[in-house]
Amino acid sequence: MDGFINLLKPPGMTSHDAVNQLRNILSYKKIGHTGTLDPGATGVLPICLGKATRLAEYLTELPKIYRAEITLGVATDTQDCYGKIERVCDCAQLEQNRFVQVLPEFLGEQKQVPPMVSAVRVGGKRLYELAREGIKIDRTPRTINIYDLNVIKFSWELPHPKVIIDVQCSKGTYIRTLCHDIGERLKVGAHMSYLIRTRSGPFKIQDAFIFEEIIDYHQREDSSFIQSMQAGICFLPVIQVDNLQARSIVHGNPVKLFENPYLENQVYRVETEDKVLLAIGKVQTGAGQEVQVLRPIKVLAS
């Protein structure tokens, strides 16, 4: 059972709990996920099965897309709707156009301080564990990148206006912190009142499966809810090898490439001419040599 499941994680469940539930449903142990999604959030959680667990590292680095609701004028200690209210501000004088004006300030590469309720480890403990003990510490800002940020809907007539935004961002971005920081920039405070991940790498929400669907498919012995390993790493460029080269690759041996120059140290998926996935490899050029060499770094076929 090798491949990926595009799971639609429900709110109120940790990513670890989602993996455990799938282990019980499928009676299969070798399962993992490609990046934590907050317990209160819902949306796309790519799940790896079998040999696909060895490919998780390539998926975690990919951009994600979220749809979030910001509630202005109410700041909480967790930066979301589950925390204790720390500050309430009157938003009567805040103009809708002002919200639009500040958004460009949050685009691009920047430093972001992870929230105290995050899973970041400090001194051997996760921040959320320290937060539960009532301990608050200084956190080291981390480099993130917000590629795109768009307003989907305003509900400005409310005493505490709500705005729905779409965010495309890099690994490690905390959307709750983005919402909090926008509120601070507007000087009224804010928190993230809802979050859904609509895309993670190649996995889209319109193609995701809920637990009940997976149970139904599994009971009918229909495995069509499982995507191939190639589908999960479709973003990696491909090198096709002949039968002789394939035998070398599956034994972990490098092969010479005589056609088409490839990017040095680029990660490729290696397939047969019949498009059977063999391995993940890198292209290198030896010192003083003109011929490029394809070296397998993860052999996936036997």
Residue numbers annotated as active site:
38
Instruction: Please tell me the distance from the alpha carbon of residue 30 to that of residue 28, in angstroms, as a whole number.
Output: 6
User: Whats the size of the chain, residue-wise?
Assistant: 302
Sign of the alpha-carbon torsion through 60, 66, 72, 75 = negative
Beta strands in the chain, from DSSP E residues, in sequence order:
3-9, 31-33, 42-49, 64-72, 74-76, 85-88, 108-112, 121-122, 125-126, 142-155, 162-169, 190-200, 203-204, 226-227, 238-241, 255-257, 267-272, 277-285, 292-299
Domain-wise residue ranges, the chain: 3-62+202-232, 64-200, 238-299
Looking at residue 130, its pLDDT comes to 64
Instruction: Please tell me the distance from the alpha carbon of residue 91 to that of residue 157, in angstroms, as a whole number.
Output: 10
Instruction: Please tell me the distance from the alpha carbon of residue 39 to that of residue 13, in angstroms, as a whole number.
Output: 5
Looking at residue 116, its pLDDT comes to 66
Instruction: Please tell me the distance from the alpha carbon of residue 30 to that of residue 41, in angstroms, as a whole number.
Output: 25
Count of beta carbons in the 10 Å neighbourhood of residue 33: 23
Looking at residue 118, its pLDDT comes to 66
Instruction: Please tell me the distance from the alpha carbon of residue 183 to that of residue 217, in angstroms, as a whole number.
Output: 44
Fold of 238-299: 2.30.130
Looking at residue 261, its pLDDT comes to 81
Identify whether the C-beta of residue 58 lies closer than 8 Å to the C-beta of residue 236: yes
Please state the pTM of the whole predicted model: 0.90
* Residue whose structure tokens are 């003990």: 133
Go through 12-27 and write b for each residue having 16 or more CB atoms within 10 A of its CB, e for each that does not: ebebeebbebbeeebe
Looking at residue 127, its pLDDT comes to 67
Q: Which two three-digit tokens encode residue 89?
A: 């501000």
Looking at residue 258, its pLDDT comes to 76
Q: Which two three-digit tokens encode residue 57?
A: 């590292």
Same fold, 3-62+202-232 and 64-200: yes
3-state SS assignment for residue 124: coil
R_g of the chain, CA atoms, integer Å: 23
Instruction: Walk along the chain (302 residues) and give the pLDDT tens digit of each residue.
Output: 899 999 999 999 999 999 999 999 999 999 999 888 888 899 999 999 999 999 999 999 999 999 999 999 999 999 999 989 999 999 999 999 999 999 999 999 999 988 767 666 776 667 666 667 676 777 788 899 999 999 999 999 999 999 999 999 999 999 999 999 999 999 999 999 999 999 999 999 999 999 999 999 999 999 999 999 999 999 999 999 999 999 999 999 999 887 768 888 889 999 999 999 999 999 987 665 677 889 999 999 87
Nearest to 231 by CA among 255, 259, 194, 204: 204
* Residue whose structure tokens are 């490098």: 254
Looking at residue 226, its pLDDT comes to 96
Residue ranges of alpha helices (H) inside 116-191 are 127-132, 175-185
Domain 3-62+202-232 annotated CATH 3.30.2350.10: yes
Helix (H) or strand (E) holding 22: helix 15-26
CATH number of 64-200: 3.30.2350.10
